[in-house]
Structures are given as structure tokens and as C-alpha cells.
Structure 1
Amino acid sequence: MILFKIIISPLSLIYWMLSSSRNALFKWGLLQQYKSRIPVISVGNLCMGGSGKTPHVALIIEHLTDYNKAVISRGYGRKNKVIIEANSQIHNTKDTGDEPMELLHKFEGSSFKMIIDGNRKNALRYLEMHKEKTDIVVLDDGFQHQYVKRDLNILLTDFSNPFYKDLILPIGGLREHRKGAERADMVIVTKCPKDITPAIENEIKKRISCYSSAKIFFTKISYEALINHHNNKTSIDSKKKYLLITSIANPNPIYEHLNENNIQFATKKYRDHHNFTKTQIQEVINISRQYDAIITTEKDWMRLKETELVNAVSLDILRLRMKMEFIYSKENLKFKDQITSLIK
């Protein structure tokens, strides 16, 4: 492994030079940024994935119940590249991507818009021309997309793999150098253990402060309930055996949660944003006969429910509902105040 990293290290140097040059062009004003009249919050990270962007976008939206809000996402993996104002009645994950569809299912209504477009500037202009006023916009995975100015730039970093310990692609998982953190107005350390100590928090703050002067918050995962395909809550049974299907960047927190609750389960893991083939679905159908029920994530359910799996198995297919919470309630209040203060 060490030899392999030495061999590919020149590629990391090239990647670093390209990303640093691009950042410098924005910093010097040689690449122009679009300033929207709508307040813009960006949520993103320095690494390739797994820091919890979608749950944190949901956390922001939950704080904006009294406002007309929109989320702009490029819709990773979608087939159609034209701009879409998503509607769950006419669009599927091939149109939107899985994470935008997950957000749409949670918040769809008259005060929420889900806009899918890789060009965030075009998406903002679409909202600005819309007859219905949008009070605030959230850019999903927008940290590297600097063609749009933002009023609040939120950087996420995973507690188990903080950016200050990572390296640039392809040796590590960083999309750009750690110094990119200096663009953040706020850093959120995500997926923290519930019993994180002040000493560990202070060490993390100290390490992050080498790259950013932003305010630092800490969040944790909260698993709420299992939801069946009738959208009803159901309890988990330690006497049953479950098949856990995931295609997310880091399923380890789910494994830990199930183990803590003494749940018997086996895993079927796919790469992040995986599009299931008919062969793979048939394989899952065959394997599932050994189990009492199937568990998956809400994100994965967006794609699985569009496959033959739903009608081919008699087992319950349960999705594990989760959300992000601040470690300290006072941080939640500060966070909400900072977000709502952007709306004029």
C-alpha cells in the first residue's frame, strides 16, 4: 500500500496544483461569482463523501418552517441534465438523484422547492424569475462550486475522518487542499460520539483552527425509528434476523447502532449512489429468504422502491430514519438564529 501511494503521489500533486489554481482565480476575482438577491447557504465538505451533507441540509430546512425555501442540487448520477423543479408525482431518482428525492419526500409542499441543476447560477436565476418568492436557498454539496456567492458557507467534516488528517486525491479523499477550509464561515464536526469529551472537542478545535477561523459546532446521529413501506413506524425485534442493504459512503454508524441494540443482522453493501441492476435485485431477493425482514436507509429506499424488490418479497422492507442533532442544545439555538438572520 505504501509503495502504491508513492507511485500515485505525482497525481496528487497535479490535482493539488489544479484545485489550488482554480481557488486562486476565484480569490483574485479572475473567475466571477454570481451574487443572487436571495440569501444563499452552502453545505459541503472537502472530502469525497460520507460527512452527512443531506441530513445537515434537512436540519437547516427544519429550522425554516416559516419561510419559502429551496434546495439546489446537481442530482448526482441522474440521467437527465436539464433543470428540474422536482415533483415526486412525476419524477423518479433517474431524474433527480437519490438524495434530492429523499429531501423531496421529507419536505415536499407549497413552501419548499427542490431544484435539480448542475449549474447553480442557472438554478438561482430560475428561482429569482419565479412568480413565487423564495426567501432562502440551500446549496447541497456546494463548497467547491464557487461560481455562486454565498451568505453562509458551511463546511462539514466527519469526526472519524477529519479533513486535517486526510490527503488530496488520489492518495487520500480530499477534493482540495486542507487550506480550503479557510473559506468556511462555519465548520460542523459530524457523526460525533454521544459521549464526546471536552478534551477531545478542544483538540479538534485546535487542529481545525490551523486552517480556519470559523465557528465550530458538533453534531451526532440520532436514529428515530424504523418505517415500513406503509409509512408506519415499527419497532425492531432483537429475536429476528435482518438483512441490511446499504449503498452509502459510510455505513459503519448503522452497524454500531444495530450492534448496540443487540440486533442480529447481515450486510449487503454497495458503493455510494449505486444503481441496482436486475441481477443484483434478484440476488437480494434470493438472500432475503434467510431473514425475517430487510433494513435499508431512507436514501437507498428512494432507489430500491423503484425496483422489482418491493413486489417480489413478502418480507417487510424497513427504512431506518435518522437525523442530525447538535451535541449541545444551545448550539442548536445559535445555529437557527444565524440561519434565520440571513432572511431580510
Structure 2
Amino acid sequence: MKKKGLLQRCLLAPFSLLYGAVVTTRNFLFDIGILPSETYPIPIICVGNISVGGTGKTPHVEYIIKLLQDDYRIAVLTRGYKRKSKGLVVATENSTVEEIGDEPLQIKLKYPKIQLVVDGNRRRAMDYLMSLKEDERPELVIMDDGFQHRYVKPSYSVLLIDINRPIVADYLLPLGNLRERASARYRANMIIVTKKPKTFQPIDLVLFERCLDLYKYQHLYFSGIEYQEPRPILSLRAKEPMRPTIELNKRSKVIAVSGIAVPTPFIEYLKETYSYVDSRCFSDHHNFSRKELTELNEYYHSLKMVVTDELYFICTEKDAVRLSALKDYIDEELLQHFYYLPITITLDNKEEEFKTLIRQAADASLPTLQ
């Protein structure tokens, strides 16, 4: 296995060097102004990463929305990964996953009052927002997954790093998982190291901070995942608040269903909290087919013949957004036993400091890094 790994690295290394040369040249052209970065007269907070795979962008965007929504008209810009539509799409509560993507729809359903614009061309999306009437124009824009999209210059950048995948120990694509060199972290005003496990000790955090070797004016935080009580997937699009008809407890038998980049923490939590039975894992942003839903129906009923206790399927919130739109293909009994697990983030003892910085960024009272 080690020889095979070494051979693969040797084969991929030239492509990684070529990719790095292209990315470095592109960033240099932006830095010297040959490629233009457009600025706008409203605060733009960018939340992004420099690695592929899940770093927790959506829950962090939601955290910022929740913090600021009562004081600002907020717009969220996102590209709508894996959507089937083209160009600029303005989201509504009736939008579909196919039109805007699963994560944007999750945000829109949770925060219906915000404006949400989907477009891979962030400058075009910003121009659209700036063309709105003054009383409709947002007072703050949150640019989701926009760290590499430098044609729009954010007034404040938040970079997310998965604690399980330190960028300083990683390589550029395709050899590693980095979209940009690790030195790109110095463009960020704030770095949040995400998915911090409860077992992490203070000394571990100090060592991680030393590895990042940030400038003194950059702010560093560590965030963890906090799971909420399971909710019925039918409640996602319910017009009226819908409480669970069944309260799960530690004896409840559960099956994990996930279509996310890194399902391990989700599955581990279920194992710790409930009487875990099995899991069905799919690729990130997976679009469930009718055949797969039929198989889930059959799997549920086959297990019911063996497991005498109540049996539940639990998926992630992102999966629930996709599955709730396909409820007509899910067996009625299974549908009543299909729940999702919402998550929020925690910032330990620095939460108030973080909130102060984000509010200052929303007020455009913090300097922009050059």
C-alpha cells in the first residue's frame, strides 16, 4: 500500500505543480490589478475555504445570518453547487434543489426574509443587488464560498479550516485537497478552525495556532458542532410549525442516511446518542433517485421484520432538503419515521468577541486587507 501511495504521489506531483503555477499567477494578476477586483459601497462578508470537501460553510453562514438578521437587510450570494439551472436565480421559498442547490435552499427555508441570489458570476449577482430600489437593496452581503472568486472584493473575509485537515500539512490539487497554497490564509481577516472535537485539549489548540503562524492582526477562533434535537423531514416545508410526533430516546433504533462530504462526525454522534443500527452513505450533494428511495423503503421494511422496537431513519439537514422534495416516493410509514438532525456551531469562550468583530464588519468599521 505504501509503494502504491508513493507511486500515485509521484504521478500526481507534476500536475499539482502545474495547478499551483496557474493559481499563483492568477492571484498575482489580481494583486497587481491586471485582473480587476470590483468593490461595492456596502459591506461584503466572505465565508470560504481553500480546500475541497466540507469545512462547515453553511452552518457558519447561518450563524452570521442569525446574529445580524434583526439589524440588517441581508443578501446571501452563492453559486448553488450542483444545481441544474443556469445563470442568475433569485431564490424564493418555493425554489427547488434543482433550481438553486441544496445548501442555498436550506438557508432560504430557515431564513425566508433574507435575499438569496444564486450565480457563479458573483460580480453579476452584486450588480443585480445594487440595481434594486433603495428600500429593497441589501445593507449587508454574505458571500458564501467566495474566497477564490476575487472579481468581487469583500470588505471582510472569514476563512474556514477543518481541524482534521490542517492546510499547512496539505498539498495542492490533485496531489492534495488545497485549491490554493496554504499561504492564501494571509488574505483572510479571520480564520475559524472548524469541527473541533470535545477531546481537544488547550495545548492542542496552542500547537495548531502555532502551525498556522498568523499575523497579529488576524483573528483566530475554534468552532465545534452542536447537534440539536431530531425533527421530522416533513417539517422543513410545513406552513405551520410542526413538532415531532415521536420523541427519540437512547433506546431508539436509528439508521443514518447521509449525502455529505464528511459523514463521520454525524454517524459517531448517532452511535453515542441512540441505539445505532446501520448507515447508508452517499456522495456529497447526492441526488437521490427513485430507485434508491425504493431501496430505502424495502430496507426499512426488511429491518422491521427483525427489529421489534421502533425504527427511525435520521439524515443530515442538507439531505433532508433534498429528501423532503421527494416525499411522494417514500413509503408513508417510513416518512413518519424519517427525521433530520439540525446543527449549530459553538465558539467556546470567545463567542462575544467574535460577535463584536462580525458586527463591526457588518458596519464596515474594520479595515480591509490588501
Do both proteins adopt the same fold according to a TM-score greater than 0.5, normalized to the shorter chain?
A: yes
Change (3 A) 1:232 1:139: same
Say which SS state the counterpart of residue 282 (structure 1) adopts: helix
Look up the match of 1:44. 48
Look up the match of 1:232. 243
TM-score (norm 1): 0.94
Look up the match of 1:171. 175
Q: In 2, are the aligned partners of 1:46 and 1:174 still within 8 Å (CA)?
A: yes
> For 1:239-318, what aligned pairs fall within 5 Å after superposition?
239-289=251-301, 290=303, 292-308=311-327, 311-315=330-334, 316-318=337-339
Q: Does 1:138 align with 2:117?
A: no
Look up the match of 2:308. none
Say which SS state the counterpart of residue 153 (structure 1) adopts: strand
Look up the match of 1:336. 355
Equivalent AA in structure 2 for residue 165 of structure 1 = A
> For 1:170-189, what aligned pairs fall within 5 Å after superposition?
170-189=174-193
Look up the match of 1:8. 12
Q: In 1, are the aligned partners of 2:251 and 2:274 still within 8 Å (CA)?
A: no
Which of 127, 131, 147 in structure 2 is aligned with 1:125? Answer: 127
Report how far residue 41 of structure 1 moved.
0.4
Say which SS state the counterpart of residue 217 (structure 1) adopts: strand
> For 1:83-102, what aligned pairs fall within 5 Å after superposition?
83-89=88-94, 91-102=95-106
Counterpart-to-counterpart distance in 2, 1:4 and 1:283: 36
Equivalent AA in structure 2 for residue 343 of structure 1 = D
Query: Over the residues paired in the alignment, what is the CA RMSD in angstroms?
Result: 1.7
Counterpart-to-counterpart distance in 1, 2:323 and 2:156: 34
Which structure has the larger Rg over C-alpha atoms?
Answer: 2
Counterpart-to-counterpart distance in 2, 1:313 and 1:172: 44
TM-score (norm 2): 0.88
Look up the match of 2:238. none
Report how far residue 196 of structure 1 moved.
2.6
Equivalent AA in structure 2 for residue 6 of structure 1 = C
Q: In 1, are the aligned partners of 2:57 and 2:160 still within 8 Å (CA)?
A: yes
Look up the match of 2:80. 75
Look up the match of 2:340. 319
Q: In 2, are the aligned partners of 1:298 and 1:321 still within 8 Å (CA)?
A: yes
Equivalent AA in structure 2 for residue 232 of structure 1 = R
Of 215-224 and 191-200, more deviation after overlay is shown by 191-200
Report how far residue 279 of structure 1 moved.
1.8
Report how far residue 209 of structure 1 moved.
1.1
Counterpart-to-counterpart distance in 2, 1:269 and 1:213: 41
Structure 2: stretches of 5+ with no match in the other structure: 236-241, 305-310, 365-370
Equivalent AA in structure 2 for residue 327 of structure 1 = D
Of 167-176 and 224-233, more deviation after overlay is shown by 224-233
Q: In 2, are the aligned partners of 1:181 and 1:212 still within 8 Å (CA)?
A: no
Look up the match of 2:368. none
Report how far residue 237 of structure 1 moved.
2.8
Report how far residue 212 of structure 1 moved.
8.8
Of 309-318 and 60-69, more deviation after overlay is shown by 309-318
Equivalent AA in structure 2 for residue 259 of structure 1 = K
Change (3 A) 1:178 1:343: same
Look up the match of 2:61. 57
Equivalent AA in structure 2 for residue 197 of structure 1 = Q
Say which SS state the counterpart of residue 225 (structure 1) adopts: coil
Counterpart-to-counterpart distance in 2, 1:285 and 1:162: 40
Look up the match of 1:206. 210
Counterpart-to-counterpart distance in 2, 1:254 and 1:185: 30
Q: In 1, are the aligned partners of 2:293 and 2:329 still within 8 Å (CA)?
A: no
Equivalent AA in structure 2 for residue 56 of structure 1 = H
Q: What are the superposed Cα offsets for residues 42-80 of structure 1, whole Å, 9 maximum, x if unpaired?
A: 001111121100000001101102211011000001111
Counterpart-to-counterpart distance in 1, 2:79 and 2:299: 34
Equivalent AA in structure 2 for residue 36 of structure 1 = Y
Matched residue count: 339
Say which SS state the counterpart of residue 63 (structure 1) adopts: helix
Equivalent AA in structure 2 for residue 300 of structure 1 = D
Change (3 A) 1:326 1:310: farther
